[in-house]
Structure formats: structure tokens, C-alpha cells
Amino acid sequence: MEQQETIAMPRIGDDAPQFTAVTTQGTINFPSDYEGKWVILFSHPADFTPVCTSEFMTFAKMQDEFKELNTELVGLSVDGLYSHIAWLRTIKEKIEYKGMKDVEVTFPLIEDITMEVSKKYGMIQPGESNTKAVRAVFFVDPKGKIRTIIYYPLSLGRNFDELKRVVIALQTADALEVATPADWQPGDDLIVPPAGSCGTAKDRVDGKESGIKCYDWFFCTKPLAKDEVFKAIKK
């Protein structure tokens, strides 16, 4: 019986697996070429497919919004470079969707016909397909560490508002040493770290620590206006 190759999938907190790849914007060395920047590395199953087309148009439309957050986009599929180029030209010249048209994709799209990169990142999942990458999303920080991982099946298009929210929330947590609660959006209250001593916990519950609201000793929040969030993460 033939034994299947087993490759450990990267985890949150790991160094992003390194690779050199040919892309539609030239050769890249990942993640070293992006030192000092956040990166969203994402895969799609195949060129010339409708869900992927809608996603690439949306990513391209939002590219400047991500750049404002010091975040670069890098796409990948197991198709070849010429297929990528032809598909992206088709998107620009022929596709109009949700008011988007003449969309030019200028972020790199990796050629991965050998599936080398896809396998390093666990993008090939046999239960879904042996020949197509699932819709994986890796958020890599300026130090080359993986900070968030999201996987979607082939049939499910991604929520781009959520992808942007993740970047902002990660940067906010880093800049302010806080956590973000469920459904957090910039301008909502932030969660402060739990009390480190019984005395601090008591002071918080008794309302002696100013600027925060405590629901109990372990659950305290503080307000921060939306513009202050963006000031903090852009320092």
C-alpha cells in the first residue's frame, strides 16, 4: 500500500515557511521580501473560476485599503504563470461584477504547478481535492510570524470585511496590548488584560481603576475612539 506524504501544517505563532516563487509580478522571496510589512497570503483553487474571479476583483478593489494598513497581498494557485496572466487580463477586459469593472490585479499571483508552496502551507487538503488548493488565508506579521489562519472550502467565497477587520484587530492588539471582543469593530470597547493580582482585581471591581468598566474582576473593557485606533496602529 502506497504511503501518503505527511507534511506538518504551519500553526499560529510559527515562522512563515520560506519559499522562492515565480509570480505575475516577478520572482519573490517569502517572507523576507516583506520584512516590516503585514502580508495576507491567500490561495484559490483555480484560474478562470467564478468564485475566484469575484474574490480577486474584490482584493484588487481593496488593495489600497490594505496598503494603508501596511499590508501587502500575495495570491497563489496551482495553475501556471501564463494561465494566471490570461485570467487576469480577462478580468480587466471582460468582467463586470457588483459595479467593479476594468479591474487590474497588480499584487503578485504565485505560480505553484509543483504544489510545493501549497503543501508547505497545508493548502492541499485531500478530503476536498488532491489537485486544487483550498481557500486558505495566512496573516503574516512584519517579523514573518503567522498570526492568524483561516481555511474555506472550494465552494465558499471569503468575507473581505472580515479579512480587513482581522488585520486591524491584530495591529490594535499589538499596539495597545489589549484584546478585541466578539464582533469588534474600530471604535468599540477593547478588553484590557486580566488583573495580575488580587489587589488589582479588587480595585477594578470597586471602581478604583479609572477609564475602564468591569463586569467582573476578569472582564474589563475600555473605550477608544475609532480615530484613536488608527492613530495607534499607524505609529
13: confidence class by pLDDT, cuts 50, 70, 90:
very high
Stated pTM of the model: 0.92
Q: Which positions make up the binding site for substrate?
A: 135
- Per-residue pLDDT tens digits for 115-149: 899 999 988 877 777 667 788 999 999 999 999 99
Q: Which positions make up the binding site?
A: 135
CA nearest 41: which of 159, 139, 114?
139
How far apart are alpha carbons 57 and 42 in whole angstroms? 14
Write down the catalytic residue from 52, 198, 214, 220. Answer: 52
Please give the radius of gyration of the chain, using alpha carbons only, rounded to the nearest integer: 21
Task: For the chain, give every domain's residue range.
Answer: 19-158, 177-233
Fold classified for 177-233: Antioxidant, Horf6; Chain A, domain 2 (3.30.1020)
1: confidence class by pLDDT, cuts 50, 70, 90:
very low
Q: Of all residues in the chain, what percent carry a pLDDT higher than 90?
A: 75
How far apart are alpha carbons 220 and 199 in whole angstroms? 15
Biggest CA-to-CA distance, the chain: 68
Question: Using CA of residue 170, residue 171, residue 175, residue 178, what is the dihedral sign?
Answer: negative
* Three cell numbers written together for 227: 480615530
Amino acid at the residue 51: V
DSSP string, the chain: -PPPP--PPP-TTSBPPPEEEEEBTEEEEETGGGTTSEEEEEE-S-TT-HHHHHHHHHHHHHHHHHHHTTEEEEEEESS-HHHHHHHHHHHHHH--BTTB-S----S-EEE-TT-HHHHHTT---TTT-SSS--EEEEEE-TTSBEEEEEEE-TT----HHHHHHHHHHHHHHHHHT-B--TT--BTB-EEPPPPSSHHHHHHHHTT-STT-EEEETTEEEE---HHHHHHHHT-
With respect to CATH, is domain 19-158 assigned 3.40.50.740?
no
- Per-residue pLDDT tens digits for 74-100: 999 989 999 999 999 999 999 999 999
User: Is 214 in the active site?
Assistant: no
Across the chain, mean pLDDT equals 91
